[in-house]
Amino acid sequence: MDIGSHIAELREERGWTQEHLASLLGISRAALSHYEKNRREPDYDTLTKFADLFKVSIDYLVGRTNRPTVTLDDPVREFVDQLELSDAEILEKFSLTIDGQKLTPEEARRFIAFVRAERNIETK
């Protein structure tokens, strides 16, 4: 689902008109309409306002997860964003540890595979 669809769905779930939501956000109804129809994308500040008002994560609004309230801590988000690197690059760049013990290369590969599988499940 795209940003506009999420915004429209969340607004409709609350029974709000576009005029009401636009007023709460301090934007014009026309701007909100453009967001909902995906003619324009909200900037970061406006996305944050939507997320705060609807009590959902920005990741949910932009379609990175199907769970509205799941958020990741900054260090975890940085790590997840780095998963675009190859396994070798990840292993070289990060020292992965659990309970204070460094993971073996094989354990690290299984961990990376697990995270990738989990991300695929969340986006489907």
| Ranges of the chain with pLDDT below 50 | none
Q: What is the pLDDT of residue 74?
A: 67
Domain boundaries defined on the chain: 3-61, 74-122
Q: What is the pLDDT of residue 4?
A: 94
Q: What is the pLDDT of residues 37-63, one digit of tens each?
A: 999 999 988 999 999 999 898 888 888
Q: What is the pLDDT of residue 15?
A: 96
CATH superfamily label, 3-61: lambda repressor-like DNA-binding domains (1.10.260.40)
Q: What angle is formed at CA 82 by the lines to CA 69 and CA 55, rounded to 5 degrees?
A: 15
Q: What is the pLDDT of residue 86?
A: 60
For residue 109, count other CB atoms closer than 10 A to its CB. Answer: 15
Q: What is the pLDDT of residue 111?
A: 79
Q: What is the pLDDT of residue 17?
A: 97
Q: Cα separation of 50 and 54, whole Å?
A: 6
